[in-house]
A and B are shown apart, each in its own frame.
Chain A
Amino acid sequence: NAGVTQTPKFRVLKTGQSMTLLCAQDMNHEYMYWYRQDPGMGLRLIHYSVGEGTTAKGEVPDGYNVSRLKKQNFLLGLESAAPSQTSVYFCASSEAGSYETQYFGPGTRLLVL
């Protein structure tokens, strides 16, 4: 099993450009999450999903959109990238229910110029 994979690994964008980050998991997990990691701030939840076709806002959702059309995929979109969105983005998945272990992807490093 590949676990949680993220595409791409690294990307450079210009301000105003758009892009989509793809997260895929092969563990049949119900829950999926998108985080951003910034120095000194740990991981902050952007959006999450508790099942196919459902999404919810996390702590820092502004400037991002997500979709969960298939259970195994969770897409994070930036419609108009800003330098403040320069970060490392992590996807995670977990089984349904409270207090389940999260399994993380390797991360995507995004630089917005």
Chain B
Amino acid sequence: AQRVTQPEKLLSVFKGAPVELKCNYSYSGSPELFWYVQYSRQRLQLLLRHISRESIKGFTADLNKGETSFHLKKPFAQEEDSAMYYCALTVNRDNYGQNFVFGPGTRLSVLP
């Protein structure tokens, strides 16, 4: 079965320090991965997705198929990055669209 794991429930770093949020997945097909973020009192929203190969708010994520990982990285954390981060994997349902499998989430706390 498809699965997404995020080993850290809570990650605390100081402002200006590098941050890496870990995500590992298990999926026999060709994966498509996303990072979603939920800031305090805001809705869950897309941060970035693998297929776009983009950098959003200084965050990047590289898909490593050998290690089945999609870790989220930022070289210099900011206090406004404090939020709950979810890694997600899309699963193709044969001829019936696709749905998402979310990891349990990691709460990032950036300390001043």
Listed in ascending order, the chain A residues whose CB lies under 8 Å from chain B are 31, 33, 35, 40-45, 48, 50, 56, 58-59, 90, 92, 96, 98-99, 101-107
Residue of B nearest to A92 (CB): B44
Main secondary structure of the interface of B (DSSP, over half): strand
17 interchain pairs (CB within 8 A)?
A35-B102, A40-B9, A42-B6, A42-B86, A43-B100, A44-B102, A45-B100, A45-B101, A50-B97, A58-B99, A59-B101, A90-B44, A98-B90, A99-B49, A99-B51, A102-B36, A107-B43
| B79-109 to A contact mask, C-beta < 8 Å, 1/0 | 0000000100010110011111111110000
**Contacts beyond the supplied A40-B9, A102-B46: 11 A-B pairs with Cβ under 8 Å:** A31-B97, A41-B104, A43-B86, A43-B102, A45-B100, A50-B97, A56-B93, A92-B44, A99-B51, A104-B44, A106-B43
